[in-house]
């Protein structure tokens, strides 16, 4: 790590924190990009992918759109982080000149944007090698524009500390929006938090899972109702929500310690947790009905619901056991998915998922109070 105090601080407060808090997302991305093909075919697989978007303008637009979404994700996260009251000391960077401040923000953005620009650099090299000059130029330009734009946002946020930053007006709208209406039940707190603080992550996850479910339902037609494929789909859907589960746990740790002083039974707290995840997975629970009755019978629907709830509760509960940010949690997620993949092939009954729920409850019961 750099010995420069500014570099060290920005690295720790912004860059490392970004990767730690989004570890689940990156692990999932890594799995999709590198885990779905055999090692020997990996280079061919990515070469084919790159060729696909070099030769199809529509796919290239889609790729650049994904990069824009990633930029929004990074920038929203970093700006929120800068605006946190406890990071107020970052305003001491205001003594720097505009150029110096911008350079430091570039230092941040280049690091958090690394997954994109590294891949884009390889794709551009392939494009140049194959004489796709225009595509190479577009990719390089897109990356430069996205990196510079985000760095300017960060500079502006530090200079004005939220007063004129681009999220300022949005924050005001949100404060009005959330203050209207009903008394919020405890189980909804985490969902409000995701809507408010992790919009991009929530949107991308839901977009991915619903598109995935849509594609599966449209493309796969079983001869007779068999719940196993749809259960495997939901296994992947829960896995893709692992970073959101990590966020929910981080939210609990930071904002909800006061709930521990309230006299609420552990069983009620666990029920609240299940309701939180029922709310989180509500879009998938509803959408999966479009696969009825071709993919599952009426009696198998509770099994799908229970599987999702029990796995989500299990992932949440192991986060109570270990105060983990990344590796251990992700190992647990992938370990769970790998084991369950084989278990699901044998079409376990509803009792199996009740057992998973029971294990989650035991973890929860023993570790909810630390």
Distance CA(96)–CA(154), nearest Å, equals 14
Q: Provide DSSP, 166-213.
A: TTHHHHHHHHHHHHSSSPPPGGGHHHHHHHHH-HHHHHHHHHHHHHHH
Q: Report the Cα–Cα distance between both ends of the chain, in Å, rounded.
A: 33
Q: Please tell me the total number of residues recorded for the chain in this structure.
A: 370
Among 20, 103, 260, 271, binds another protein (CB under 8 A): 260
Determine, following the binding rule CB under 8 A, whether residue 261 of this chain makes contact with another protein: yes
Determine, following the binding rule CB under 8 A, whether residue 370 of this chain makes contact with another protein: yes
Q: How far is the CB of 216 from another protein (least distance, A)?
A: 34
Among 45, 212, 251, 285, binds another protein (CB under 8 A): 251
Determine, following the binding rule CB under 8 A, whether residue 65 of this chain makes contact with another protein: no
Among 57, 133, 253, 254, binds another protein (CB under 8 A): 254
Query: Interhelix angle for 133-160 vs 114-129, to 10°?
Result: 160
Indicate the residue among 226 and 328 with the shorter CB distance to another protein.
Answer: 328
Distance CA(331)–CA(25), nearest Å, equals 13
Among 11, 16, 87, 174, binds another protein (CB under 8 A): 174
Among 175, 290, 297, 331, binds another protein (CB under 8 A): 175
Render the burial of 304-314: b for 16+ CB within 10 Å, e for the rest: bbbbbbbbbbb
Are 290 and 230 in contact by the 8 Å Cβ rule? The answer is no
Indicate the residue among 48 and 177 with the shorter CB distance to another protein.
Answer: 177
Query: Which window, 97-105, 113-121, 178-186, 212-220, contacts another protein (CB under 8 A)?
Result: 178-186
Determine, following the binding rule CB under 8 A, whether residue 187 of this chain makes contact with another protein: no
Tell me the torsion sign for CA atoms 297, 299, 303, 308. Answer: positive
Half-sphere exposure of 72 (CA within 13 A, CB side): 15
Among 42, 68, 186, 343, binds another protein (CB under 8 A): 186
Torsion of CA 280, 284, 286, 292, to 10 degrees: -150
Peptide bond before residue 146 is cis, with ω within 30 degrees of 0: no
Query: If 0-12 CB within 10 Å is exposed, 13-18 middle and 19+ buried, where does residue 171 land?
Result: middle
Structure tokens at 254: 């930071």
Determine, following the binding rule CB under 8 A, whether residue 255 of this chain makes contact with another protein: yes
Binding mask 206-245 for another protein (x = CB under 8 A): ----------------------------------------
Query: Which window, 4-12, 34-42, 141-149, 252-260, contacts another protein (CB under 8 A)?
Result: 252-260
CA gyration radius for the chain? 22
Distance CA(309)–CA(301), nearest Å, equals 13
Question: Judged by CB under 8 A, how many residues of this single chain contact another protein?
Answer: 25
Among 1, 36, 58, 183, binds another protein (CB under 8 A): 183
Determine, following the binding rule CB under 8 A, whether residue 302 of this chain makes contact with another protein: no
Indicate the residue among 89 and 346 with the shorter CB distance to another protein.
Answer: 89
> Which residues from 22-51 bind another protein, rule CB under 8 A?
none
Determine, following the binding rule CB under 8 A, whether residue 196 of this chain makes contact with another protein: yes
Determine, following the binding rule CB under 8 A, whether residue 89 of this chain makes contact with another protein: no
Determine, following the binding rule CB under 8 A, whether residue 163 of this chain makes contact with another protein: no
Distance CA(294)–CA(220), nearest Å, equals 10
What does the angle CA 298 – CA 304 – CA 305 come to, to the nearest 5 degrees? 100
Query: Which window, 12-20, 179-187, 236-244, 309-317, contacts another protein (CB under 8 A)?
Result: 179-187
Q: How far is the CB of 188 from another protein (least distance, A)?
A: 10
Q: How far is the CB of 86 from another protein (least distance, A)?
A: 10
Query: Which window, 11-19, 56-64, 140-148, 261-269, contacts another protein (CB under 8 A)?
Result: 261-269
What count of other Cβ atoms lies within 10 Å of the Cβ of residue 217? 18
Indicate the residue among 17 and 152 with the shorter CB distance to another protein.
Answer: 17
**Which DSSP category does 32 fall into?**
I
Interacting residue ranges for another protein, rule: CB under 8 A: 174-175, 178-179, 183-184, 186, 189, 192-193, 196, 251, 254-258, 260-265, 369-370
């Amino acid at each position: 790590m750099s010995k420069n105090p500014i570099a060290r601080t920005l690295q720790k407060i912004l860059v490392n924190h970004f990767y730690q808090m989004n570890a689940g997302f990156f692990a999932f991305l890594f799995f999709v990009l590198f885990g779905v093909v055999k090692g020997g075919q990996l280079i061919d697989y990515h070469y084919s992918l790159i060729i696909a978007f070099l030769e199809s303008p529509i796919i290239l637009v889609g790729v650049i759109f994904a990069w824009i979404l990633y930029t929004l994700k990074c920038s929203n996260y970093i700006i929120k982080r800068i605006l946190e009251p406890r990071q107020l000391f970052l305003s001491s960077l205001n003594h720097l000149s505009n150029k110096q401040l911008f350079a430091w923000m570039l230092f941040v953005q280049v690091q958090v944007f690394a997954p994109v620009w590294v891949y884009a650099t390889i794709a551009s090299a392939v494009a140049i090698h194959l004489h796709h000059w225009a595509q190479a130029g577009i990719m390089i330009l897109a990356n430069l524009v996205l990196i510079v734009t985000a760095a300017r946002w960060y500079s502006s946020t530090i200079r004005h500390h939220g007063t004129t930053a681009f999220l300022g007006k949005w924050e005001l709208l949100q404060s009005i929006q959330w203050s209207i209406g009903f008394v919020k039940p405890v189980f909804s707190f985490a969902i409000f938090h995701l809507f408010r603080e992790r919009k991009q992550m929530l949107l991308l996850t839901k977009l991915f899972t619903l598109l995935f479910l849509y594609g599966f339902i449209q493309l796969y037609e079983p001869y007779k109702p068999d719940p196993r494929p749809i259960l495997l789909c939901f296994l992947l859907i829960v896995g893709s929500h692992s970073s959101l589960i990590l966020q929910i746990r981080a939210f609990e740790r930071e904002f909800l310690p006061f709930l521990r002083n309230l006299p609420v039974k552990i069983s009620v707290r666990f029920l609240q947790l299940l309701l939180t995840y029922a709310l989180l997975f509500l879009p998938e629970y509803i959408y999966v009905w479009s696969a009825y009755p071709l993919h599952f019978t009426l009696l198998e629907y509770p099994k799908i619901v229970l599987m999702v709830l029990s796995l989500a509760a299990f992932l949440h509960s192991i986060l109570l056991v270990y105060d983990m940010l990344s590796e251990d949690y992700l190992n647990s997620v992938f370990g769970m998915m790998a084991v369950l993949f084989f278990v699901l092939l044998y079409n376990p009954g509803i009792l199996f998922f009740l057992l998973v729920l029971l294990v989650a409850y035991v973890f929860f019961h023993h570790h909810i109070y630390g």
